[in-house]
C-alpha cells in the first residue's frame, strides 16, 4: 500500500472520530501528538485531506456506514475539488481526475455526480449518493434562500474550495517600512488597497514585521468597517464602547480611524481580554477601561455606572458563516435550527446595550454571518423596537477575494 493510500486511511480514521466539538486544527494537533509516527510531511498531507473533505460541506451524506470504503471516495473527491493544479497524491490515487483538475468546480462536480451514481475511481469505490436537485448547482451550502441580499450563492459556494488569504492592515506611518521588510524577506504579497495587504495564509510574519505596531492582522472585510467609522470623526472626544471586544481588532481599528476616543472594552471571556491587553500593548494603546461583562444579563447599569456612549460597537456573537471557508468543519456540522440560538442571543444583547447610547449617538452592529436572519432582519428589529434610524447597511463581501464575508449596519438614536 502506498503512503498516499495510508494518508487517506488515516484521514478516514480522523473523520470518523471527529465530532466537531472543538476546532479541527485543535483536534488534529491532539491526534498527531498521540501518534508520534507521523512526520511533518505526513501531518501536512493528512490534514490537507481532512480539510478538503470538510470543504465539500453538505455535498455528501454525513452518516456513512462503518467499514464502508465510501468515505475514502468522498475524501478523494474533496481533494479533486480543492485541487487547481495536478499533484502527486491525486496522480497516485486517481490519475484520471488529476488530469482534469483545471476544470471548473461545476465541471468537476458533474464528473463526481457520474461517479457517485455507479462509476468507480480506480482506487476507491464511490457508492451512489442522494444528490438533491434543488441544491443545484452545488450542494455545498444548501441554504441559498437564507442568504443576505446581494450574496452570489454560486461564488460563495466556490469560495469553500480554497483557503482564504492572510490580510494585514498597515498602520499610519509604517507603509514604507512594512513594504521594505516584506520585499527583503522575499514574501509574496499584493495590495488590496492603500493600506491592506494580502499574503498567503501560511505566511510567518512575526519575524519580519512588528505585528500590532506596524501592521495589524485583520481580514480584508473587517478592515472595510472603517468606512462606517469615518463619518463619525470630528473634534469632539467620543465615548466608545466595544461591547463584544474579543481580542480587540475592532477597537484598534476604531482608535486608528477616530483617533480621539475614550474607550471601554468588554467581553464575557476573561481570557479574551487578556489577549486584548497584549494586542493593545503592541499597538501602543494604553488608556482604556476593560470589563468582563455578560451582556445577556439585565440590568447592566451597575457594571457600567450609568454611562452613556457616543458609539457602541457590537460585533455580535453569530453563526460565523461568513468565515466558514477558514473553518469548513463548521459548515459540515451546521444544522439549520442552530440559527435560533444566535438570533436569540443577539436580541438579548441588543436589548441590554441600546439603552446606553446617547441621544444622537450611534450603534455599529456587525456580524461575520451571511444569514439574513442575523443581518437585515436583526437590523429591522432594532429599528422597530428601539426607534433607531438606519444610516448605512452593507454586506462586506469577501468570498470573491479569498477573504471573509461580513455584515455591518450603522444606526443612530435621534436626539
Contact yes or no for 379/359 (Cβ under 8 A)? no
Strand partners, 239: 262
pLDDT digits (tens, 9 = 90+) for 55-77: 999 998 877 766 667 899 999 99
Q: How high is the pLDDT of residue 329?
A: 98
What is the rounded average pLDDT for all residues in the chain? Answer: 91
pLDDT at residue 298 above 90?
no
Cα–Cα dist 265/242, whole Å = 5
- Phi/psi-derived region of residue 36, left when phi > 0, alpha when psi is between -120 and 50, beta in every other case: alpha
Tell me the pTM: 0.92
Contact yes or no for 392/409 (Cβ under 8 A)? yes
Q: How high is the pLDDT of residue 126?
A: 40
18 three-state secondary structure: coil
Cα–Cα dist 116/119, whole Å = 7
289 three-state secondary structure: strand
C-alpha cell at 347: 436580541
Q: Which band of pLDDT confidence, cut at 50, 70 and 90, is reported for residue 116?
A: low
Contact yes or no for 109/157 (Cβ under 8 A)? no
What is the mean predicted confidence (pLDDT) over 200-211?
94
Q: Which band of pLDDT confidence, cut at 50, 70 and 90, is reported for residue 133?
A: very low
The sign of the CA dihedral 357, 318, 389, 403 is positive
How is residue 254 annotated by DSSP? H
| Residue whose C-alpha cell is 494604553 | 286
Q: How high is the pLDDT of residue 122?
A: 40
Nearest alpha carbon to residue 150 among 414, 413, 415, 406? 406
Q: Which band of pLDDT confidence, cut at 50, 70 and 90, is reported for residue 128?
A: very low
Contact yes or no for 74/126 (Cβ under 8 A)? yes
Q: Which band of pLDDT confidence, cut at 50, 70 and 90, is reported for residue 302?
A: low
pLDDT at residue 28 above 80?
yes
With pLDDT > 70 as the criterion, what percentage of the chain qualifies?
93
pLDDT at residue 281 above 70?
yes
Amino acid at each position: 500500500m502506498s503512503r498516499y493510500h495510508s494518508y487517506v486511511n488515516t484521514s478516514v480514521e480522523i473523520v470518523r472520530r471527529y465530532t466537531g466539538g472543538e476546532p479541527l486544527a485543535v483536534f488534529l494537533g491532539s491526534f498527531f501528538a498521540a501518534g508520534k509516527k507521523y512526520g511533518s510531511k505526513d501531518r501536512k498531507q493528512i490534514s490537507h485531506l481532512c480539510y478538503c473533505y470538510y470543504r465539500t460541506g453538505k455535498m455528501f451524506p454525513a452518516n456513512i456506514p462503518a467499514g464502508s470504503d465510501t468515505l475514502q471516495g468522498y475524501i478523494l473527491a474533496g481533494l479533486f475539488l480543492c485541487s487547481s493544479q495536478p499533484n502527486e497524491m491525486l496522480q497516485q490515487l486517481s490519475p484520471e481526475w488529476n488530469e482534469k483538475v483545471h476544470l471548473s468546480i461545476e465541471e468537476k462536480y458533474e464528473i463526481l455526480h457520474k461517479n457517485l451514481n455507479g462509476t468507480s475511481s480506480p482506487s476507491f469505490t464511490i457508492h451512489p449518493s442522494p444528490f438533491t436537485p434543488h441544491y443545484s448547482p452545488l450542494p455545498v451550502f444548501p441554504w441559498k434562500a437564507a442568504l443576505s441580499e446581494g450574496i452570489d450563492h454560486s461564488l460563495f459556494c466556490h469560495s469553500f474550495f480554497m483557503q482564504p488569504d492572510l490580510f494585514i492592515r498597515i498602520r499610519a506611518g509604517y507603509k514604507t517600512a512594512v513594504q521594505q521588510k516584506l520585499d527583503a524577506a522575499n514574501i509574496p504579497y499584493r495590495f488590496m488597497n492603500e493600506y491592506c495587504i494580502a499574503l498567503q495564509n501560511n505566511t510567518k510574519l512575526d519575524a519580519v514585521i512588528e505585528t500590532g505596531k506596524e501592521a495589524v492582522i485583520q481580514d480584508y472585510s473587517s478592515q472595510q468597517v472603517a468606512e462606517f467609522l469615518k463619518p463619525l470623526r470630528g473634534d469632539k472626544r467620543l465615548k466608545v464602547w466595544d461591547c463584544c471586544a474579543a481580542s480587540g481588532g475592532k477597537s484598534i481599528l476604531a482608535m486608528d480611524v477616530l483617533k480621539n476616543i475614550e474607550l471601554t472594552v468588554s467581553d464575557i471571556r476573561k481570557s479574551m481580554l487578556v489577549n486584548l491587553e497584549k494586542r493593545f500593548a503592541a499597538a501602543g494603546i494604553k488608556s482604556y477601561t476593560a470589563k468582563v461583562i455578560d451582556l445577556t444579563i439585565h440590568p447592566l447599569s451597575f457594571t457600567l455606572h450609568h454611562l452613556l456612549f457616543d458609539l457602541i460597537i457590537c460585533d455580535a456573537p453569530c453563526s460565523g458563516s461568513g468565515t466558514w471557508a477558514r473553518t469548513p468543519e463548521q459548515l459540515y456540522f451546521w444544522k439549520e435550527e442552530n440559527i435560533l440560538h444566535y438570533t436569540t442571543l443577539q436580541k438579548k444583547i441588543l436589548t441590554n446595550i441600546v439603552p446606553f447610547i446617547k441621544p444622537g449617538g450611534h450603534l455599529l452592529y456587525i456580524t461575520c454571518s451571511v444569514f439574513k436572519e442575523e443581518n437585515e432582519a436583526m437590523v429591522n428589529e432594532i429599528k422597530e423596537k428601539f426607534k433607531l434610524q438606519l444610516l448605512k447597511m452593507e454586506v462586506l463581501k469577501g468570498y470573491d477575494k479569498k477573504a471573509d464575508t461580513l455584515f455591518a449596519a450603522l444606526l443612530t438614536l435621534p436626539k
